[in-house]
Amino acid sequence: MHDRLNKNSMAVLKMVRASHSHPTASEVYEAVRQERPQIGLASIYRILHNLVEQNYIKELRHGDDTCRYDAHTARHDHAICTQCGALLDIPIDVALPQDLLEAAAQATGIEFSSHELRLYGRCPTCQGQAVQHKTVE
């Protein structure tokens, strides 16, 4: 565990930071290959795990079986499309009442440290597709 990042790690971190679409390990691999063609997929996984452990990035999981990465490490909330599964960042700060969060935590006995709000519904793209679908048929 070192503090300083080497070239491979820097390339991975830069890629995740540049992407706004929560890339998967494979997507990171394909993008980083452009700059560092000799890098292996195993290193991508290793480096992503290290970056998560060192808090440079966060790991995201939802519906599908691949996990995604996000360089936006500050606490924020997500919207999940019930049709296509897309995971969107909620771009505003949703200030939930602290007392409600604490009451909920107390009800389970956990030592409350953070939270996330998830909204479910059809994303703008899928709403558009649904309309188009109807008019076409």
Quick one: what does residue 43 bind among its own copies, DNA, none, with the CB cut-off 5 to 8 Å set by partner type? DNA
Applying CB under 7 A, among 21, 35, 45, 101 the residue interacting with DNA is 45
Q: How far is CA 25 from CA 36, 63, 86, 122, 132, in A?
A: 15, 16, 16, 26, 33
In order of 15, 87, 89, 103, 131, the CA distances from 20 in angstroms are: 10, 11, 10, 34, 27
Nearer to its own copies, 53 or 116 (CB): 116
CB atoms < 10 A from the CB of 129, how many? 14
Q: Print burial letters for 46-75: b (CB count within 10 Å at least 16), e (below 16).
A: ebbebbbeeebbbeeeeeeeeebbbbeeee
Q: Does 36 bind DNA (CB under 7 A)?
A: yes
HSE, CB side, 13 Å, CA atoms: give it for residue 97.
4
Q: Tell me the per-residue interface mask from 52 to 91 with DNA, x by CB under 7 A, - otherwise.
A: -------------xxx------------------------
Using the minimum distance from each CB to DNA, give the nearer residue, 61 or 115. Answer: 61
Report, in Å, the least distance between residue 74 CB and DNA. 23
Contact between 22 and DNA per CB under 7 A: no
Regarding 115 and contact with its own copies (CB under 8 A), the answer is yes
Interface positions with its own copies (CB under 8 A)? 61-63, 65, 77, 79, 81-82, 88-92, 94-97, 100-101, 103-105, 107-124, 127
